[in-house]
Chain A
Amino acid sequence: MTYDLATIIPELFLVVAATVLLMLGVFRGQQSTQLVLGLSVVAVVVTLALVWLAPAERAAAFGGLYVHDGFAGFMKGLILTAAALCLVMSWRYIERENMARFEFPVLMLYATVGMLMMVSANDLISLYVGLELQNLSLYVIAAFRRDAIRSTESGLKYFILSSLSSGLLLYGASMVYGFAGTTSFGDLAAIFAQAQAAGETPSVGLVVGVVFVIAGLAFKVSAVPFHMWTPDVYEGAPTAVTAFFSTAPKTAAIALFVRVMMGPFGDLTAQWQQVLVAISILSMVLGAFAAINQRNIKRMMAYSSIGHVGYALIGLASGTEAGIRGLAVYMAIYLFMNIGTFAVILCMRQKDRMVEQIDDLRGLSRTHPMMALAMGIFMFSMAGIPPLAGFFGKIYVFLAAVEAELYTLAVIGVLSSVVAAFYYLRIVKLMYFDEPAEAFDTPFGREMSLVMGATGLITLLFFVFPNPIVDGAEAAAAALLAG
């Protein structure tokens, strides 16, 4: 038992920290919000350090319900980084937007604990528990601005559609259990491998169960055709929350998706590969086409995130170690450029109110040149223009797809990025070529400049120092497939 607890030290620390901070908030009242927020950042950073220090080799805990390996370590690192940056970015935001309540950071922490559990889940039951812990916290923070109708609407939509998908997933999980007699990933993998070796096709119930699980997970990563909630929720939720939604939970859901597909269902590749190829193509194409006409930048980012998920899923669809490595690199790069973009969006305030129209960025290069430069880097990177980081993310997954002989997928991926480039570049054109709109309120706050600068530099200089991220991703992919 002690050994089990040692495996989950980071999660344990975070959940205890969150609870302590909750108590702090309860007893000290709302004036403690900034304190709680600051300590939350510290808690996340300490958790990150604990994840970092954890032994790299695979360790299972609680009778195999829970596993920590290189893959989990890498993904947890990303999730915690995203959580920390989003907490930092909401520092001023929650104050300005009248939502400075101590519950906000605490809920983010609980959601993060859920994500860490998702990444480490090694059983359908622990998967579901982690997922729901995350979801329940996210429902609340999506609707955190109770006085804003858009925020409550987005919270409600998210709640209903997400519960539906959780229901599907649970239903699928129960079918899998019914037909395989186990919920453990390891046992499931063994059963399928055995069936594969014997040349048997798995029973209908099992395959349908797997399809249900895929549908549920596709919803969580907001892949087409289960993406409809994303634009509405991203637009309606408070911007700091949207930044969080588009990074940490997305990474966790993708990691979970990967673990489920490559672990227990790894020998059913023939059954799910076509589904994933279809989902991936649809996401890339729809993400690209739908974003073109958006006027609201948060909505545009929602479609952009749908497209990016499509690209990341190319890696999963390949079903190879190179594919998983590509996916891990892609998610890491996506995370930095997305957080950077949201840092810019969070600075879009005029006359003490948030503005969200893309046109509000007009002439940014003259009103705020450094911010325009950062945004330009993020947009070019998202468009996949070399030598920025986003290009390498794409190259890794495209090459993996080509190696796996998924030529159509790779070619459609490349071509849909032409369409996607169109709307990213339009923002660059607006910022650099058009007459300035009204300047944004200053100062943005030092923490915003810091986030923008750091993510901008990472995006810009990835091509000089690709090794930290790529080596990590490589180790993560190897660990996943070894386990």
Chain B
Amino acid sequence: MMLPAVISGFALGAVAPWVVRAVGARAHWLLAVLPAVLFVYFAGFLPGVAEGQVYRFATEWVPGLGVTLSFYVDGLALLFALLISGIGTFIVIYTGGYLHGHEQIGRFYVYLLSFMASMLGVVLADNAITLFVFWELTSLTSFLLIGFNHEESRSRRAAVQALIVTGGGGLALLAGLLLMGAVGGTLEISELMTQPEVLHGSPLYTAMVILVLAGAFSKSAQFPLHFWLPNAMEAPTPVSAYLHSSTMVKAGVYLVARMSPGLGGSELWFYALVIFGAVTMLTGALLALRQTDLKLVLAYTTVAGLGTLVMLIGLSAPLGYKAAAVFLITHALYKGCLFMSAGAVDHETGTRNPLELGGLRGAMPITFAAAALAGLSMSGIVPFIGFIGKEVMYEATLHLGPVGGVVLTIATIAGNALTIVAAGVVVLRPFFGERRKTPKHPHEAPVELYLGPCVLAGLGLLAGIAYPLTQDSLTAPMMGSMAGTMPDHRAAELYLWHGLKLPLFLSLLTLGLGIAGYVYWDRIRESLAATLRAIGWGPDLGYDQVIAGVEWLSFRQVRVQQTGYLRHYLIVTFTVFAAFVVWTLMTVGGGPSAFEMPAVRLTEWVALGLMVMGAGAATLVYSRIAAIAAIGVVGYAVALIFVMFSAPDLAFTQFMVETLTVVILVLVLMRVPLEVRAFRGLGARIRDAVISIAVGVVFTLVLMGVVQGDLDLRLSEYFAETSVPVAHGHNIVNVILVDFRALDTLGEIFVVTVAGLSTFALVRLALFKRKGGAGEGGGA
């Protein structure tokens, strides 16, 4: 049942263009039925999960690898699945209004529904490989969504950038998952998470954590990889709303939460998450205030929100988990709502610049109401869920102890205050104050555009008021997933009224700071802009530099190792080869053990001298013919050695081969210029000489080492013993040729004959052509 639920999005996506064609402009109502049904289906798990039950569904998939299509429903997965399908429903409806009449809307639904299905797969998958498959599918489908307006170069860049960062991070995640699987002996995440001591005890633990976090941080836009997320705002607004509220960027948060019981608990985990999370929170919140585009303001607050979540999970304590669970819900609800209402404002007025907007509350009352509710939740006002979120957040950071707690609490206060300023920018600016002239004359948006914001904003309020329900069915089970065991009631408890305690005063302080910040927003924005201009460098630019650097590296190394000159290839081949052999000799411990000079006769000296002279001459002469002849001399000298060691047949063959080679080479080379210029400089000549000598020395060493070993003489002995009794011959070589290996000899004769015939054919052909005959080659 789970598998069809997960992949139904792909199926519906595949037929969406035809649905659009058949139903027309109202297709979104029909298409939204699927996510709505899925939402209801997932909601059915709520009672069980609230009691701490988990559900597992598995189907056999890739044979022989232990890769199953397995899904796992617990508090964490269920909360995400509900957000994805629930918000997804409104996003589909919203798309129908936002892209009304767009000719490519069918294609958009394909991507959107596939994206939703991939995202469900990520949060429900139990098998690590299955998780990775869906993880990369979200990268892929979001790439298509971000690049939807591919006529614009900024869209294209943003899409590719998002894919490279998140897809690349995904591969790091794969490496991490494989290591975890190797150490834990299973690829099912639910089983891996029950054995933290095995994972922690492994020497690969650090590598695992780094690789898994690389995947999570790239996806969840943690500093310094946060740059792709604001750029992804090039996507149509429904995409931004969906990606930022409940999907895509939350996948990294999901992963960190999912891995928490197994990988969490170490110092590495704690510091990595808390430091990166806190830095991201502050960076995102600050940069949000610099923007003059509603979507960008929201995008940077998303970065801040993701940082907050990662930091809270990193605290690895029940309070942190509680704060993370509450904030996750808070953030999804208000961010989804605000993105959609910002899109509605853009749709109706034609601009997203808060400086050009004002006084829209009269023209767009419903959108305004939704945005206002969401803004209140975002600012953490009683009785919204945002208020509870902020309270538990402070509780969690304060709990950390004197030094760390204070630092982290101050950072969190700063982050939250800045977020309140941003809430003011997106809610107060456009809707209050004077009406300003906008490119389009604003009306209330169509129902598609405000339905989602209204429901989500209402839920934000409801989740706060009905906090016991939120706690029992959503946050407590999610805490259980992160901690590994269900929390007791006290640990999971949520309050609207917590008493006159420190967190409440901190909340009030935050609110005051936020209001002050909003009043001075213009000044803050300008000084931020000036500072950033002065720095003049950011990770986005860094991305371009890395890409350019990789291209440069690629260019350089190809230039060096792929010159196109055969001689360079030969140099590399010989060098590597010599190095290979030396390395082998060193590891195996071979090589000559002693350098004894064997007794060499005078005749042998002559042959050796000839060889050396021939080889030397070949390197020195500038005429091809002379070089060939010089190499021929080497060959003849070798043949002489054969003669001296009484192997006349071998010597004879060697003489023949040498003669033929020289003759044939000369014949061939008659057709090319015979004199060659000295094209190598002195440096190149020295390099070549060094390599040649090195290769020669290595081969000599090998040969000496080999000769000093025992030669296997069984074969020689066999022939020596058997040639007279079996073959009645006294010349062993002859006996081998005509008797023991008679068939081989026959084959050789056959080969020589065929070679002779073909030479004859070639010569005849050449003669025929010279006579001016129409060669048969021109037939085609």
Q: Judging by beta carbons under 8 Å apart, are A164 and B179 in contact?
A: no
**What are the residues of chain A within 8 A of B160 when measuring CB–CB?**
425-426, 429
Cα–Cα, bound, A395→B572 (Å): 33
Q: Judging by beta carbons under 8 Å apart, are A392 and B62 in contact?
A: yes
Q: Does A45 contact B (CB under 8 A)?
A: no
The 8 A CB mask of A362-393 against B (1 = contact, 0 = none) is 00000000000000000010001111000110
Q: Does A38 contact B (CB under 8 A)?
A: no
**What are the residues of chain A within 8 A of B129 when measuring CB–CB?**
395
Q: Judging by beta carbons under 8 Å apart, are A30 and B581 in contact?
A: no
Q: Does A254 contact B (CB under 8 A)?
A: no
Q: Judging by beta carbons under 8 Å apart, are A410 and B175 in contact?
A: yes
Cα–Cα, bound, A206→B416 (Å): 71
Smallest CB gap from B712: residue in A: A181
Interface-located stretch among B91-99, B263-271, B324-332, B582-590: B582-590
The 8 A CB mask of B129-173 against A (1 = contact, 0 = none) is 100110011011000000100100000100110011001100110
Q: Judging by beta carbons under 8 Å apart, are B590 and A207 in contact?
A: yes
Instruction: Find A207's partner among B140, B150, B564, B584 (CB 8 Å cutoff).
Output: B584
Given A207-B588, A208-B702, decide whether A470 and B172 contact each other with a Cβ distance below 8 A.
Answer: no
Q: Judging by beta carbons under 8 Å apart, are B171 and A386 in contact?
A: no
Given A204-B585, A290-B557, A432-B150, decide whether A161 and B705 contact each other with a Cβ distance below 8 A.
Answer: no
**What are the residues of chain A within 8 A of B164 when measuring CB–CB?**
421-422, 425
Q: Judging by beta carbons under 8 Å apart, are A385 and B558 in contact?
A: no
Q: Judging by beta carbons under 8 Å apart, are B137 and A387 in contact?
A: yes
Interface-located stretch among B356-364, B444-452, B548-556: B548-556
Q: Does B561 contact A (CB under 8 A)?
A: yes
User: What number of B residues sit within 8 Å (CB to CB) of A?
Assistant: 71
Q: Judging by beta carbons under 8 Å apart, are B133 and A178 in contact?
A: no
Q: Judging by beta carbons under 8 Å apart, are B558 and A293 in contact?
A: yes
Given A33-B780, A179-B709, decide whether A407 and B204 contact each other with a Cβ distance below 8 A.
Answer: yes
B330–chain A nearest beta-carbon distance, Å = 33
Question: Interface size for chain A: under 10, 10 to 19, 20 to 34, or 35 or more residues?
Answer: 35 or more
User: Which residues 133-189 of A have a CB within 8 angstroms of B?
Assistant: 156-157, 160-161, 164-165, 168, 175, 178-181
Q: Does B576 contact A (CB under 8 A)?
A: yes
Smallest CB gap from A322: residue in B: B64
Instruction: Find A205's partner among B174, B573, B706 (CB 8 Å cutoff).
Output: B706
Q: Does A244 contact B (CB under 8 A)?
A: no
Given A161-B566, A180-B712, A208-B585, decide whether A30 and B168 contact each other with a Cβ distance below 8 A.
Answer: no
**What are the residues of chain B within 8 A of A286 when measuring CB–CB?**
557, 561
Q: Does A441 contact B (CB under 8 A)?
A: no
Smallest CB gap from B592: residue in A: A204
Cα–Cα, bound, A470→B555 (Å): 38
B65–chain A nearest beta-carbon distance, Å = 6
Smallest CB gap from A209: residue in B: B706
Given A30-B780, A31-B779, A470-B63, decide whether A181 and B714 contact each other with a Cβ distance below 8 A.
Answer: yes
A109–chain B nearest beta-carbon distance, Å = 19
Q: Judging by beta carbons under 8 Å apart, are A415 and B171 in contact?
A: yes
Q: Does A211 contact B (CB under 8 A)?
A: yes
Q: Interface centre among B62, B63, B553, B715, by most A CB within 10 Å? A: B62
Q: Judging by beta carbons under 8 Å apart, are A292 and B554 in contact?
A: yes
**What are the residues of chain A within 8 A of B590 when measuring CB–CB?**
203-205, 207-208
Q: Judging by beta carbons under 8 Å apart, are A474 and B64 in contact?
A: yes
**What are the residues of chain A within 8 A of B147 when measuring CB–CB?**
432-433
Q: Does B569 contact A (CB under 8 A)?
A: yes
Instruction: Find A387's partner among B133, B163, B167, B712 (CB 8 Å cutoff).
Output: B133
A333–chain B nearest beta-carbon distance, Å = 13
Q: Does A225 contact B (CB under 8 A)?
A: yes
Q: Judging by beta carbons under 8 Å apart, are B159 and A414 in contact?
A: no
Q: Does A93 contact B (CB under 8 A)?
A: no
Smallest CB gap from A146: residue in B: B777
Smallest CB gap from B553: residue in A: A289
Interface-located stretch among A113-121, A226-234, A350-358: A226-234
Given A208-B581, A208-B702, decide whether A228 and B64 contact each other with a Cβ distance below 8 A.
Answer: no
Q: Interface centre among A294, A432, A474, by most B CB within 10 Å? A: A432
Instruction: Find A232's partner among B178, B564, B712 (CB 8 Å cutoff).
Output: B564
Cα–Cα, bound, A387→B709 (Å): 55
B2–chain A nearest beta-carbon distance, Å = 17
Smallest CB gap from B562: residue in A: A231
Q: Does A343 contact B (CB under 8 A)?
A: no
The 8 A CB mask of A448-483 against B (1 = contact, 0 = none) is 000000000000000100110011001000000000
Cα–Cα, bound, A137→B211 (Å): 47
Q: Judging by beta carbons under 8 Å apart, are A201 and B558 in contact?
A: no
Q: Does A403 contact B (CB under 8 A)?
A: yes
A295–chain B nearest beta-carbon distance, Å = 11
Cα–Cα, bound, A429→B147 (Å): 10
Q: Does B383 contact A (CB under 8 A)?
A: no
A372–chain B nearest beta-carbon distance, Å = 13
**What are the residues of chain B within 8 A of A414 when measuring CB–CB?**
171-172, 174-175, 178
**What are the residues of chain B within 8 A of A33 when measuring CB–CB?**
780
Q: Does B757 contact A (CB under 8 A)?
A: no
B166–chain A nearest beta-carbon distance, Å = 11
The 8 A CB mask of A407-443 against B (1 = contact, 0 = none) is 1001100110111011001100100111000000000
Q: Judging by beta carbons under 8 Å apart, are B178 and A290 in contact?
A: no
Instruction: Find A204's partner among B168, B709, B715 (CB 8 Å cutoff).
Output: B709
Given A175-B706, A433-B147, decide whether A289 and B550 contact each other with a Cβ distance below 8 A.
Answer: yes
**What are the residues of chain B within 8 A of A399 when measuring CB–CB?**
65, 178, 181
**What are the residues of chain B within 8 A of A417 when measuring CB–CB?**
171
**What are the residues of chain A within 8 A of B432 when measuring CB–CB?**
none
**What are the residues of chain B within 8 A of A292 when measuring CB–CB?**
550-551, 554
Q: Judging by beta carbons under 8 Å apart, are A386 and B706 in contact?
A: no
**What are the residues of chain B within 8 A of A231 when measuring CB–CB?**
562
A173–chain B nearest beta-carbon distance, Å = 14
Cα–Cα, bound, A422→B580 (Å): 32
Q: Judging by beta carbons under 8 Å apart, are A398 and B178 in contact?
A: yes
**What are the residues of chain B within 8 A of A219 when measuring CB–CB?**
573
Q: Does A126 contact B (CB under 8 A)?
A: no
B509–chain A nearest beta-carbon distance, Å = 44
Smallest CB gap from B713: residue in A: A181
Q: Judging by beta carbons under 8 Å apart, are B211 and A411 in contact?
A: yes
Q: Judging by beta carbons under 8 Å apart, are A407 and B588 in contact?
A: no
Instruction: Find A386's partner among B136, B182, B211, B580 (CB 8 Å cutoff).
Output: B136
The 8 A CB mask of B705-721 against A (1 = contact, 0 = none) is 11001111011000000
Q: Does A396 contact B (CB under 8 A)?
A: yes
**What are the residues of chain A within 8 A of B63 when measuring CB–CB?**
466-467, 470-471, 474
**What are the residues of chain A within 8 A of B709 when measuring CB–CB?**
179, 203-205
Cα–Cα, bound, A402→B186 (Å): 12
Smallest CB gap from B163: residue in A: A425
Instruction: Find B554's partner among A181, A289, A387, A426 (CB 8 Å cutoff).
Output: A289
**What are the residues of chain B within 8 A of A211 when measuring CB–CB?**
580-581, 584
Smallest CB gap from A325: residue in B: B64
Q: Interface centre among A100, A219, A225, A426, by most B CB within 10 Å? A: A225
Smallest CB gap from A232: residue in B: B564
16 residue pairs of the A-B complex, CB under 8 angstroms, read A178-B712, A207-B584, A208-B584, A208-B585, A290-B557, A290-B558, A293-B555, A385-B139, A399-B65, A402-B181, A407-B179, A407-B204, A418-B167, A421-B167, A425-B163, A432-B150
Closest 3 CB pairs of A and B: A204-B590, A30-B779, A386-B133
**Can you add 17 more A-B contacts, CB < 8 Å, to A205-B709, A232-B562, A385-B167?**
A100-B780, A168-B577, A179-B712, A226-B576, A290-B557, A292-B550, A384-B171, A386-B133, A386-B137, A395-B129, A403-B182, A414-B171, A414-B175, A415-B175, A417-B171, A421-B168, A467-B63
